[in-house]
Amino acid sequence: MRPVDLPAFRAALLNWFDAVGRDLPWRAGAEGARDPYRVWVSEILLQQTQVSRGLLYYERFLTAFPTVQALAAAPIEDVLKAWEGCGYYARARNLHRAAGFVAQQGFPATYEGWLALPGVGPYTAAAISSLSCGEQRAVNDGNVRRVLSRLYGEKTPSEAWVQEKANALLDPTRPGTWNEAVMDLGATLCTPKNPQCPQCPVNAFCAAFRAGEPSAYPAPKVRAAVKEVRAVAVLIGDDQNAVLEQRSGNLLGGLYGLPLEEMRDEEDGKAALGRLLSRLQAHEPMLLGTVTHTMTHRHLTVDVYRAQATLPRARVQDAALSRLDHKALALLKARQESLFGL
C-alpha cells in the first residue's frame, strides 16, 4: 500500500469537517475542552447505537440527570427507566456506578483515568480524553475500521491494525476534532453500502476507490447463530398494574418484567407453566397469546398467560421494561379491545 501524504490528507478531511460536519448537541463548547459529563453520557449512549437514536436518549437522559452529582444520587431504577428501550442495559448500570466514583473524586483528566471507569473501554476513553482533555488518542470504532479498511485496501483489518493506522493518521494539533471528522466521514459518506465516493474529500487517497469496489471493504464479520428460546410468562393484574419481577444476570439485568420461565430442551409449555404457577402460587391460567422478540443472538417465543394470585403489583409506567414485556402487556389491551368490538 502506498504511504499517505499526511499533511494533505489531514487538511482535506479537516477542511471538509469544518465546513459540513454534523451539528450535534454534545459537540457544544471549546474544541478539546468539552464538558466531560456531556461527552461521557453521549459516548456511552452511542456504543453500538446509531446517532439518530442516541439523540433521543441523550436529551431524555440529560433532562433527568443534568449533572454527574444528580446521576450519582439517583436510584438505579430511575437510571434504567431513562434508558428503557435503548438496549445493552449494562451501559446504564456501569454509567451509574462510575458516576458514584466521579462524584467523589472528580472527572478523570487522562486517557488512563477514564479507562479505569466501568463501562469505559479503549474507544470511549480515547474519545472522551481527546474531546475533553485534549489528549492525542485515536479512536477505533466501526466507522474508523471501515474508513481505514477502504483507505488502505485492507479487506480483513484486525483491531490492532486499525489502531496502528489510526494512531499514525491522527492530527496531533486537533486530536478530538480529528476523531470526530473520521467518524463523520464514515457515518455520512463512507457508509457500509452505497458510499458517496464522488463527494468524499479524501477519495484521491483511497485504495478501495481506485480499485472500484469500495463497498467490498471491509469483508463482513462472521456472526454467531441466533439461538431459539421458548418460554412462558404470566400476567397477573392488568396492563397498568401487574406483578413484575426484576431480572438478574446479564440478559436484561436490572429491568423488570412479567414472571417468566424458559422451556428446557425437549420440554413442552405445560411443564414450564407448571413451574411458573407453582413458584408464584398462581392459578387459573388463561392463554392471552404468543409474542416473539428478536435480539442479536437469540429469538424468543413466549406464550403469555393471564393468571390469578395475591401478590403485590407494580405500576408498569414507573418500571423499566424491555420491549419483550411491553409486547406481552399489549396482548391484554388487544384482547380487551376485541371484546368491546373496537
Partner DNA sequence: AAATCGGGGTG
Partner DNA sequence: CACCCAGATTT
Residues lying near DNA in the complex (CB under 7 A): 22, 24, 26-27, 42-43, 46-53, 85-90, 94, 118-125, 127, 141-143, 145-146, 180, 183-184, 186-187, 192-194, 218, 220-221, 224, 227, 249-253, 293, 295-298, 322-324
**Residue 311 Cβ vs DNA, minimum distance, rounded to whole Å:** 24
**Residue 270 Cβ vs DNA, minimum distance, rounded to whole Å:** 26
Give start and end residues of each alpha helix (H) in 212-249: none
Residue placing its CB nearer to DNA in the complex, 198 or 220 = 220
DSSP 8-state class, residue 220: P
**Residue 220 Cβ vs DNA, minimum distance, rounded to whole Å:** 4
Tell which residue, 88, 82, 84, 16, has the closest CA to residue 250. Answer: 88
Phi, psi of 147 (to 5 degrees): -60, -45
Residue placing its CB nearer to DNA in the complex, 277 or 324 = 324
Distance CA 299, CA 296 (A): 8
**What nine digits make up the cell of 41?**
453520557
Please tell me the number of Cα atoms within 13 Å of 24 on its side-chain side: 24
Residue placing its CB nearer to DNA in the complex, 117 or 282 = 117
Distance CA 30, CA 214 (A): 35
Distance CA 339, CA 342 (A): 8
Distance CA 283, CA 305 (A): 10
Tell which residue, 233, 261, 123, 93, has the closest CA to residue 183. Answer: 123
Contact by Cβ (8 Å): 71, 79: yes
Cα radius of gyration (the chain): 24
**Residue 284 Cβ vs DNA, minimum distance, rounded to whole Å:** 29
Residue placing its CB nearer to DNA in the complex, 4 or 86 = 86
Residue 43 among the catalytic residues? yes
Residue placing its CB nearer to DNA in the complex, 83 or 277 = 83
**Residue 187 Cβ vs DNA, minimum distance, rounded to whole Å:** 4
Q: Out of 43, 84, 135, 261, which one is annotated catalytic?
A: 43
Distance CA 191, CA 159 (A): 19
Residue placing its CB nearer to DNA in the complex, 43 or 171 = 43
**Residue 196 Cβ vs DNA, minimum distance, rounded to whole Å:** 11
Full 3-state SS string of 162-202 = HHHHHHHHCCCCCHHHHHHHHHHHHHHCCCCCCCCHHHCCC
Contact by Cβ (8 Å): 137, 129: yes
Catalytic residues, by residue number, are: 43
